[in-house]
Amino acid sequence: MIFGYRKMFDKMKAKNQQTSGQLFATNEPAGKLRLILFVLLLIIYWSFIAQTKVALFAISDNFLALFPNSTNFTSGVIRDIILRYFSPSTIMFTAIPLIVFLSIRKLISKYLHILFPAIGFKESEQYLTKCAFSFPIRNTPNQENIFTKTHHSLEHLKFLGGPANLVFDPSSAFIIQKNNNQGYFLISSNRQCIAEKFILSHGEKIYAFISKNGREVLLKNLVIQDGYGQTIDFGLISLLLFFNTSQDKSTTYLSQKITMHDAKFLSYLGKVERNIIHQFLRDETHNFLHSNVSIMINDEIIPPSSNQIHGKIPDISAKILHENYSKITPTLTKTPRGVSRKHKHSRYIFMKKTSSFSFNKENRKKKLILQLSNHLNEQLKSFFHTSTIQISIIEIRK
Amino acid sequence: MNFFIYNSIMKPSLQTGKSRNNQGNLIFTFAIILVIFPLFIIKSVSSAILYFFILVVSIVFSLFFFINFVPFFPKSLSGFINITHTLALSIFRKTKSSYHIQVGKFDKDYFFIKNQPRLDALLIDEKSAVITINNASKKRVILSGYQFINNGEKALHTFDIGFHHFFWGPQEKENLYGNHIPDLDLSQAHMHSLRVTQTKCQIKDEITVVPSFSVFYDFSSPKGKRHLEKMLLDISDYFSTNKICGELQLEINKLIGEHVTNICKDLLENTSVKQITSPTDHNSSFLDDFSIKINTIINMKASNGTSDSHTKKELVLLESIKPLGQWEMLNIRVFLNDLWIQKDVR
């Protein structure tokens, strides 16, 4: 019996939520419908007040004297309508809900402004009005104000979200977050065009922006000393983080649901905090090269686990969360003959030799790239718990 | 990054003074409705009833209408009542009662918040968490979202639950054993010596070594919110007993760093210079093993039962260095950047 009631209650609750969702949908037709309904309700209410006794309460004799007694039926009706509909008491009664309505809008706007000082009071007010009645977008950007406005606008879209029209560079991407943490969506485009359009709906907010530059990681001047006491100076290792996505040519942009971990990781690429990711990749690369730099020197066999077909996304082992570092062993093994130390101010400086290794040996370089990308992908999965993000090595320069 | 936004609501404006005016306008409007209007329109009991009925209905309707368009406001009945309460208080209070917490930081100074306990609501972003404490010293973890503060509750600790990185020990380009450090002023020299002290340890043959580490950690909880909440409460308890409150970021960094140093000391105390610098017969060098061991120990879960003798040995070590046992969900990665060995050793 109790279960029956509970089921019924749940059903009613779900139905109510659905109705409420439809009633407060934020799109242009719904907004216009709400505006019409609102005006109609106000007229009905005004008429109702005009027909009650209260309409005549505040009418003074002086006010009545303004309207002479009716001589015929028509003038009588008009006099009655004016007296009832435009009497001070009717007007005051009609004005009350209107004043309350506008004051509440002001109150909530003020509250939003206090909560997000970066968003102005007028902006908050306009935001509410736009959501409620879907007034058309009046401003169109011109080239002069785009860059001055962008930063502020982004803050707004991060806190309150849509509705807004976004025009974005296809080389960039962004993550939107649906209301109440319902999920993260990566919006990107692979098309060769100048600009892509995206409509950010109400209840969706911008979680992070990722520019193409943000996805590039340049590791400069990595000096590696191998176990043989030889040093190799990697002038530049260029990495690119990319999303494992595919796009249908017919669609303008690609929207892909991503995990919370992926969203969190990507959100670090667009800001000052990207240094954390860069430093992590630098340290991991350094670690890997320190253990496996012998690939560049000795033509060793690549273990089957990292043997891949070029051009395809590396096959990465299943995600292990909170993996112990002990499980991460160097991919290649070596028999060290010299001092293996990372410190620069070594007592054995005389033992350091400049490597005789040559970058012309393309095969070795390819092997190194392959293994390094595998290693970095593995570490991304292991530490950041990413699943759709891959890393590829663009170039290694001495 | 090129993003162009078409929207009429995106005008930047500075409104600190204006918002005070708006508050005054709002109070003035309510005064008109509640005091002046009744003088003119309430002439009988029935009109008074009608007036108050219309007033209440229009307030409830308007609140319900607009609250539905603010994405982060809760949509339940209790949420509606709480928001109404918060909004009403926001008119009359001079001080701010709702705060936005981003990346573990209040939008005002924490100590300002602490001295003003009448908080109503907190809007917490996805990378933050807050611990509140009530009069009965009961703690509550508040994760992301728009959350209401119960009566008598205060914000005790805030966390940035994103990714973190810090260097522990001397910096990369520091000349640790240089006789002259002409470029450093007094405070820089002091910081320099402090960084050295952070990781300084002695090895078997009484030689001083100074490692420098790069430490990464994150709070992500694959097991779910409950585990994360438990861990945050544990961390909060730890710092509460040490009478530390506010933003815990730097304190956590320090604690993890000290933990790394302890492990390092424990691993190195029975090691000789020869072992560090000489070639080994193993697959990897001593320093590689050292780095792996630090990571194994620091990420080891004290509760894990194991039959592996190697792990058992490390667990013994773990006990001797008082692990961050209750923090076992922290995902930590330590990189050994440099190891400095006393210069005059031959």
- Measured between CB atoms, which of B14, B91, B299 is closest to A107? B91
Residue of A105, A116, A348 with shortest CB distance to B66: A105
Q: Among A103, A148, A300, which would you mutate to test the B interface (most chain B Cβ atoms within 10 Å of its Cβ)?
A: A103
pLDDT at B280 over 60: no
Q: How many Cβ atoms sit within 10 Å of the Cβ of residue A66?
A: 8
Please report where in the chains the tokens 């409150």 appear, as a residue: B245
Per-residue pLDDT reduced to its tens digit, A168-225: 777 788 888 887 667 888 888 777 666 777 888 888 888 888 877 778 888 887 777 7
Nearest to A280 among B11, B127, B216 (CB): B216
Contact B7, A137 (CB under 8 A): yes
Among the listed residues B170, B165, B160, B159, the one whose alpha carbon sits nearest the alpha carbon of residue B261: B170
Question: What H or E segment, with its residue span, contains residue A288?
Answer: helix A274-292
Which ranges of chain A have pLDDT less than 50?
138-150, 299-357, 359
Look at residue B11 in the predicted model and tell me its pLDDT.
38
Q: If DSSP codes are grouped into helix, strand and coil, which group holds residue A394?
A: strand
- CB–CB contact A273 B162 (8 Å): yes
Q: Tell whether B34 lies on the interface with A, counting CB pairs under 8 A.
A: no
Contacts of B72 in chain A (CB under 8 A): 179
Q: Residue A383 and residue B216: Cβ atoms within 8 Å?
A: yes
C-alpha triplet B207, B212, B215: angle, nearest 5°? 140
> How far apart are the C-alpha atoms of A173 and A210, rounded to whole Å?
5
Dihedral-angle region of residue A229 (phi above 0 means left; psi in -120 to 50 means alpha; beta otherwise) = left
Tokens of B230: 């438990």
CA–chain centroid gap for B324, Å, is 17
Nearest-by-Cβ selection for B33 from A99, A321, A342: A99
Nearest CA distance, B330 vs chain A (angstrom):
8
Residue B249 has pLDDT above 50, yes or no: yes
Residue A390 CA to residue A378 CA, distance in Å, equals: 9
Q: Could you tell me the two tokens for A76? A: 């009588």
Q: How far apart are CA A281 and CA A271, in angstroms?
A: 16
Residue A73: what pLDDT? 73
3-state secondary structure of B254: helix
CB A215 within 8 A of CB A240: yes
A57, B44: Cβ pair inside 8 Å? yes
Least confident of A352-366, B94-108, B206-220: A352-366
Q: Kindly list the residues from chain A whose CB atom is less than 8 angstroms away from the CB atom of residue B345.
A: 347
Mean pLDDT score of chain B: 76
Q: Residue B191 contacts by C-beta under 8 Å, 6 or more apart in sequence?
A: none
- Cα distance from B186 to chain A (closest Cα, Å)? 24
**Listed residue (B201, B282, B209) closest to A342, CA to CA:** B209
Q: Are B54 and A49 in contact (CB under 8 A)?
A: no
pLDDT greater than 70 at residue B192: yes
* Confidence grade of residue B104 (pLDDT, cut at 50, 70, 90): confident
- Number of Cβ within 10 Å of residue B249's Cβ equals 16
pTM, to two decimals: 0.75
**How high is the pLDDT of residue B327?**
67
- Sequence letter at residue B53: F
Q: CB–CB of A202 and B71 under 8 A?
A: yes
pLDDT of residue B64: 92
Pairing of strands B208-218, B331-341: antiparallel
Please give the pLDDT value at position A256.
Answer: 83
Q: What is the pLDDT of residue B131?
A: 92
Q: Which residues of A touch B11 (CB under 8 A)?
A: 120, 122-123
Q: b vs e for A203-239, b when ≥16 Cβ sit within 10 Å of the residue's Cβ?
A: bbbbbbbbbeebbebebeebebbbbbbbebebeebeb
**Cβ neighbours of residue B253 closer than 8 Å, sequence gap 6 or more:** B164, B166, B215
Angle between helices B286-298 and A274-292 (to 10 degrees): 140
Q: Which candidate, A267, A221, A213, places its Cα nearest to that of A240?
A: A213
Residue B104 zone, left/alpha/beta (φ > 0; ψ -120 to 50; rest): left
CB A96 within 8 Å of CB B58: yes
Select from B18, B33, B339 the Cβ nearest to the Cβ of A342.
B339
ipTM of the shown complex:
0.79
Six-digit token pair at A188? 């990107």
Rounded Cα–Cα distance for residues A21 and B203 (Å): 68
User: How many C-beta atoms lie closer than 10 Å to residue A156's C-beta?
Assistant: 26
pLDDT of B164 above 70: yes
Chain B contact set for A157 (CB, 8 A): 5
Say if the Cβ atoms of A340 and B288 lie within 8 Å: yes
Tell me: pLDDT of B20 over 70. no
Quick: pLDDT tens for A286-323.
888 877 766 665 544 334 333 333 334 333 333 333 33
Residue B85 pLDDT more than 90?
no
Amino acid A43: pLDDT: 93
Contacts of residue A272, defined as CB under 8 A and 6 or more positions apart, other chains included, come to none
* Secondary structure letter of residue A294 according to DSSP: H
As a whole number of angstroms, the distance between CA B159 and CA B130 comes to 6
Question: B13 pLDDT band (50/70/90 cuts)?
Answer: very low
Chain B residues within 8 A of A275 when measuring between CB atoms: 165
Which of A363-367, B148-152, B193-197, B199-203 is predicted with the least confidence, judged by mean pLDDT? A363-367
- The pLDDT score that the predictor gives to residue B112 is 66
